[in-house]
Structure formats: C-alpha cells, structure tokens
Amino acid sequence: MKTKYIWIIAVIILGFSACDNDDATVVEEVVLPDLEAGSADFSKFISLGASFTAGYSDGGLFIAGQENSFPNALSKQFSKIGGGAFNQPLMSDNTGGILVGGSVVRGYRLVFDGSGPVPLDAFLTSQGAPVPPITTEAGISLGSNFNNYGIPGAKSTHLVFSGYAGLNPYYARIASAPTATVLGDAAAQNPTFFTLSEIGGNDVLGYALSGGESDSAAENYDPITPTAQFDGAINAIVDALTANGAKGAIGNVPNITSLAHFTTVPHNPIPLDEATAVYLNGASAYGAYNAGIAQAFDFLVANNSMTREDADKELAKRTITFQAGENNAVVIMDESLTDLTAINAALIGMRQATSEDMFVLPASSFIGTEAVPGNPQTVNGVAVPLADKWVLIPEEQEEIATATMAYNSIIESLASSKGLALVNLNSILEKAATTGIQFDNFNLNTSLVTGGLISLDGIHLTPRGYAFMANSFLEAIDATYGSNFIASGNVAKAADFAVSFSATLP
C-alpha cells in the first residue's frame, strides 16, 4: 500500500493590527501508516451466517442489497492486502422475491411510500408503473463455490443439517448436493480467514417474530433453540473452519428486542370518543368482565388458593378500563395470568397492555381492524383482545434475553479458546437503541425509516448499517491479529453507502 495522506486545514485568525494583517492558513500534514495484515492471511476469505451475512434488507434478498453486504465490504479492504475475489450467489433481479417451481415463496421487497413501508409491487401498482417479475428460481443451481455463505432464515443447527437445501430456497441455489450441509460447502472452500455472524440470531428471532407463540400446533410456532443444541452446532462450525489453521472473527448475538420490529408499535394507540369509552366500560362490555374477575379472586382468597395481596395485585393488572382520548392501551391475551376459566369460562386471560409489552411490526396494520367486517363492536385490540402472535409480554422477552445471554457466553468462550476476534454486536445494537452510534458524520439509531441503521423490515440493516458492521469487524480483527485497517484508514466510509433503495432499481 502506498502511504496515504490526510490534509487538515486550520484557519488561524491573527487579529487586527495597524498593519492590517491578512488571515493566515496553516496546513498540517498527517501521515497514515501503511496497511499491514498482522498475523492474518486474507487470501481466501469466506463468510458464514444468515440473512445479515447475505445482505438481506427491506424484507428481501436482491442484487443491490447483496452488493452492500458487510462481508463484501470487508473483502474490498482485504483485497488491498492480498485478499482474493469475493464471489456471492447473486439473485437474478432486484425484486427481493424468490420462486420455487415457478411459484412465489418470498414476495417483493419493501419500499417507503411516504407514510410507511409497503411491498414494492403494491407501490408500483399505485403509481401506475410496471411491476418487474420475480425471476430468481431456487431450483436453478449456481454451483457451490462461493465466498458468501449467508443463508437467510438459517438457525445455528440448520448450518450443520444434512438436507437443508430441501427446506431453504436460498441454500437450494448453491448446495453442492441435496444432502450437503452449509458448513460442509463453506469449509470445502478451504478458507484462510472467515467471519461468523448472527449465528444464534435466528435461534431466538423466529420465536420473537411469532410473538412468543408457545402452542406447538400454531402455524407460526418457532421455539427458541435449546442452549445445548446451539452449543453443539457452533462448536462444530468453528472446529470445521479452523481445522486447517484458518483465523477468523465471530460476532455475538444482539438483543433482538431492541430492533425496530419490536419497538415501533406503541402499546396505547387507541383513540376513543366519550360515548365509546362509556360503552366499553359498561356492564354489556368490560364492566361485566371486571366484576367477574373480582368475584373469582375473592373466591380464590376465600379458599386459601391465593393471598389477598396477590389477588389484588393481579386484579389491578387485569381490570380493563377505557377513557375518552387518544392513548388507550390495547387489550391482549396473556398466558402468564392465573387461569380463572375453571371458575367462569368467560374469564379468559386478558388484560390491557403496558409500556413493558412489545408488539411485532405487522400489528400496526391489524390493530383497529374489525374481526367481523362492518361490525364496530369487534375492533381488534379493543373489543377483541390481540392474540399471542402479536405481542411479546415481559415473560417472553425474558426467555429471549436468557437464551441470548447463554449463546453469547458460549460464543465468547469459543472465541477465546480458538483465538478468534470477537465482535460485540450486542453492545453495538444496545448503544444504537439508546444514544445512537456515530459513523463518520452520521448518527445512526434503530428508529424505523429515519434511524439510518435498520431497514424497512425493522430487523435487517441498511447498506450504511452493514458498512458500520464491516468496520466493527475490522476493529476486532485489528485488536486480535495486529492488522491496522482502522489506523491506516482502510475502512468503509459512511457517505459511500445509502440508507434506502429506489423503487426503480434496474
């Protein structure tokens, strides 16, 4: 690498004098060091992970997003010091969709229509513009020799599962055989350096996206991966990738409930006029329910099944009241509540939400709709409580946090024992969700649409977010292997990466 220079211009005002001196400019030359690899060999770089590794954004995988993936940004820096080509299994178009046997299994990516995220096809149709067809077919093999093995939707156990190509249309495009494993195909590239990212993210994300659905018969049931299974999978992955002496960097699991998908929808978005509030509080609506639960708790106390203190505490939690105004809390089902249906079948476990509850992003378009079209007495979230799939109650959030901490403990121990660089993505997301993170001249936070970090699906990153992620990996690589990407200025620049994609990408 040739030495790079940054010219810092400082203007010094000398002040007025009888001689009327002009302002003077002093130019200071700052010399950055040459780029060094330290003990790492970047000649054959592969990246293994899930959707973040793939460059998934705005609810879809598409060419422009893949070109802004964080491992692709890394490869551009690695190429300056011996890194080879970085080949990605690019999609066939920029629609964000994918076909299996000619049928759509993943629809169009999201775009911003001025008020919120909407599917690309719906937006273009509303504008009278032609809608491009989805052309990426999962059944068409691209071969298996790639550098990016980011498989959207993959859990830790999926990466070591033989036959996963039959379950995941993205992996089906690049699997070396129907019985291949993602790990086996990645390790077959014989990397000298690798990154592992969001291994464990989908192990809790599916559960979170389902609202913590615990009914195994439910269509969206997606339980948290047991810690022992995650432990076995992540150890197998690291062992395989380091078997020939490769070095690497691994990211831990962020607290996913800090993402915009779970923080955007408020718990109290219901506006009511006085007449409606009075009706809902009356005997023909929630008034009868409130009286019923009060009687049920009196019964439990009288039978020594519950203390008066505990009964009063839960009674206050479950009593449902509305008032005229803009910010009434929605009514939700809560499986953690005491089951009163044995006393009275009508006393189902429901309550009004609090600020401690989290709602999945799709709830924004469901709350306030009518369960029975044309019947205003069946408004979802008001007269009809929201089902489990729409909300993460505190107990479910705690399950996610507990699993995340357990996964991260394993990852930290593994990184230490194998001498891998550890990237604290958990800490980065936490900071982004509170104070924001500074990236060159931009402050990025987790707000939907306006934050600059999180894309329109509320989960995955924008191109600028992925660039920041790449730099975070470079920082950890420098600290572990003695390279100097950060100090030498060989990093992704925020201004080179956008925060949104046009609806008319070619």
20, pLDDT greater than 60: no
Q: pLDDT tier at 215 (50, 70, 90 boundaries)?
A: confident
Across 24-28, 101-105, 216-220, least confident range = 24-28
Phi, psi angle pair for 93, to nearest 5°: -155, -175
14, pLDDT greater than 50: no
Please tell me the predicted confidence (pLDDT) of residue 23: 54
Q: Where in the chain is the domain with CATH 3.40.50.1110?
A: 45-264+396-496
Pick the more confident residue, 442 or 284: 442
DSSP-derived letter for residue 345 is T
Is residue 333 classed as helix, strand or coil in its secondary structure?
strand
Pick the more confident residue, 127 or 8: 127
Please tell me the predicted confidence (pLDDT) of residue 284: 86
Which residue in this structure is represented by tokens 């995988």? 61
Which residue in this structure is represented by tokens 């054959």? 44
Q: Give per-residue pLDDT as tens, 351-372.
A: 999 999 999 999 999 999 999 9
Say if residue 366 is exposed, middle or buried (CB neighbours under 10 Å; 0-12, 13-18, 19+).
Answer: middle
From the list 77, 66, 237, 215, the residue with the least C-alpha distance to 152 is 66
28, pLDDT greater than 80: no
Q: How far is CA 88 from CA 162, 167, 305, 459, in A?
A: 22, 21, 62, 22
Please tell me the predicted confidence (pLDDT) of residue 216: 81
Please tell me the predicted confidence (pLDDT) of residue 22: 52
Q: How far is CA 19 from CA 12, 15, 25, 44, 306, in A?
A: 17, 11, 18, 65, 91
Say if residue 274 is exposed, middle or buried (CB neighbours under 10 Å; 0-12, 13-18, 19+).
Answer: exposed
User: CATH classification of 45-264+396-496 is 3.40.50.1110, yes or no?
Assistant: yes
Average pLDDT in the 455-481 region?
98
From the list 102, 49, 108, 110, the residue with the least C-alpha distance to 74 is 49
Q: pLDDT tier at 4 (50, 70, 90 boundaries)?
A: very low
Q: pLDDT tier at 17 (50, 70, 90 boundaries)?
A: very low
24, pLDDT greater than 80: no
300 alpha-carbon distance from chain centroid: 43
Average pLDDT in the 212-221 region?
85
Which residue in this structure is represented by tokens 């000398």? 14
Q: Give per-residue pLDDT as tens, 81-91.
A: 999 999 999 99
How far apart are alpha carbons 419 and 488 in whole angstroms?
23
Average pLDDT of the chain?
94
Please tell me the predicted confidence (pLDDT) of residue 365: 94
Residue 301: which H helix or E strand, with range?
helix 286-302
Say if residue 237 is exposed, middle or buried (CB neighbours under 10 Å; 0-12, 13-18, 19+).
Answer: buried
Enter the tokens of residue 68. Answer: 């802004």
415, pLDDT greater than 50: yes
Is residue 416 classed as helix, strand or coil in its secondary structure?
helix
Pairing of strands 247-251, 421-423: parallel
**Residue 40 near residue 474 (C-beta atoms within 8 A):** no
Please tell me the predicted confidence (pLDDT) of residue 26: 62
Q: Give per-residue pLDDT as tens, 305-345.
A: 999 999 999 999 999 999 999 999 999 999 999 999 999 99
